[in-house]
Structures are given as structure tokens and as C-alpha cells.
Amino acid sequence: MIILTGGAGFIGSCFLWKLNQQGIYDIIVVDNPDSPIKDKNLLGKRYLEYIPKDDFLRILESGKITGINKIIHMGACSSTILDDADYYLKNNYEYSKRLAAWAVTQNVHFIYASSAATYGDGSIGYDDAESLIPSLKPLNMYGNSKQLFDLWALENNYLKVFTGLKFFNVFGPNEYHKEEMMSVICKRFKDLKEGKPMRLFKSYRSGYEDGGQKRDFIYVKDAIEVMYYFYNNPQKAGIFNLGTGIARSWNDLALAMFSALGIKPAIEYIDMPDQIKGQYQYYTQAKMDKLRQADCDYKFTPLEEAVKDYCGYLKDKSHL
């Protein structure tokens, strides 16, 4: 039996779809029932039980849940703009520690979501070597909460048995509930269909043209395939980057959307809000050597193909 936290969220619900596709239904879904839009991510999917996040740890630690052999911990606050350090600490760090500690005592395979936000400004690169974890300096509270858990796992030698995944810029179906944290593709799809221009941030750093800031964009369909690889290979413990290893610009992303929609490109560059100027990442690119050394040879979908596929879902807000 499997526990899947964040199972109604973006990546979690897509992974639930993947498990169902493989004939796996003995799943306890844990999430925060706070959004009717998010609830749609569960429609048509099979699982044993849905437990609200606030009740789950109490029920688990009371011994009422037995027979668990895997925990996939996707549940967390993924907002990078929330200004509440205490909430991040309790929700992303303390909650994760309690769940992970339980997994250790029960000898349960633990897969968890870290983040590329832990790399901060990228000044020391995007290498997922565990020896470099203490040197990382995230730029925001979200990244810091993920960094704290990575450090805790490292200091307790749990990365010898846990699988941590540093997700880069994931986009795809089932992110409709994420509001400001939705991908640009999801946010701007309706505007582009209505003939409005794509809006991208201006650049405030030399060497980067407006819209030329780069990200390692990864399609959620690819992300869940790599997750499933580690699901089936619990001996491949450690922390791993989950990007594509290829940085592409926001302009590239925009042009891929225009091409997918058959629309003439029109891009408007707008001022970056002061709130995020100081914590904005101008470049991310996952180093993928460690994933390949773990014998995961999955071939990632090129950006243009992924965007085209996703636009098919956005047309009527369909789900995985």
C-alpha cells in the first residue's frame, strides 16, 4: 500500500494517474481539501482513501494505518511569493520530518520532492552532489524550507535510503488550481488564443535580453516517468536533479506556444515586480550526470513537442 501526499495537487495527481495506468490502486491520497479546482485532478482516478492533510499525521502516528511499503511525499506549499516563514517551516519542513521519521522507523521507502529553488542564484552551479548541499543558499522562503529538509536528511544519513528529487520548472496538465504558481503556458494560453501578446519579464542583468532569462523546463509527463523509475528502484537512493539538462529561454517557450497555436508571435516585455527582483533566477539548468549514473536513461521530450502536447490539454482544461 502506498501513501501519496499532495495527491490532488499538480505533480502528485499526475503521478497518481501514472500509478493507475500501471494497475496500482492501493493508494492513500493525502492533501488539503481547499480547492474545488484541485479536486478535479482526482476525477476518474482510483485510490483507497482520501485523508485531509491536517488529520493525516495524527492518524498515521496513532497506528491506525498499516501495511504501507512506500511513501511518495509531494505535499508542500509551493508558492515562492508567500510571506510567512513560520508557515513554510511548519508545513514544508516540520511536517516532512515527522513523515520521514515515521518512514524510517517502519522501514518504508520514502520518495520526496525537493526543488531547484534550493540552488539560489546558481552561483555554484546546479550539481546534485550531496557534498554540495550545505553550501547552497536559496533566494526565497520556499527554497529555504526545501533546503532545510535536504540538510536534515543529509545530516541523519537518510539520503542513503531516501530518494529526493529536485524538480526544476515543471509544466503540464493538472496545474489549473495553482493560480500565480501556474506555468506561463497555463497562465497565458487564453490571452494568446484571444489575440493578446505574450507577456514576459524585462531583464535587469547584462548578458540577458528581455525574455532571454533561461530555465530548465520539464514536462510533467516526463517528470512522472522518472518518478516511476525510482518507485521501482528503491535501491537507487540519494538526491537527484529532475530537469532535462537543457536550459531554454522564456522567449523560446513563447515561440513554442505561438507555433503550437498557429499564431503570429507577439511578445510584450513588462516590468518585473519589486517583490521578486531580488530573488529572481536568471538561469537554471540541471546537471543530469547523477541520474544517468543511476541507470535512468529516460529521454526527455523536446520543449516544442511538450508545449504542443500541453496546449492540447489547455484547449478544454482536460486532465491526466
H or E element that contains 124: none
- 47, 126, 142, 280: the catalytic one is 142
- Helix-strand-coil percent breakdown of the chain, rounded to 5? 40, 15, 40
- Residue whose C-alpha is closest to residue 303's, from 246, 264, 263: 246
Instruction: List the grid coordinates of 20.
Output: 493507475
142 labelled catalytic: yes
208 labelled catalytic: no
- Residue whose C-alpha is closest to residue 192's, from 118, 288, 275, 256: 256
Which stretches within 22-82 are classed as H helix?
Answer: 36-39, 53-61
- 18, 45, 166, 178: the catalytic one is 178
Q: Say if strands 163-167 and 217-219 run parallel, antiparallel, or are unpaired.
A: unpaired
Phi-psi sector, 52: left (phi>0), alpha (psi -120 to 50), beta: beta
Query: d(Cα 110, Cα 65) in Å, to the nearest integer?
Result: 16
Please, which residues bridge with residue 249 across strands?
214
Q: How large is the angle between the packed helices 53-61 and 95-105, nearest 10 degrees?
A: 30
Active site residues: 142, 178
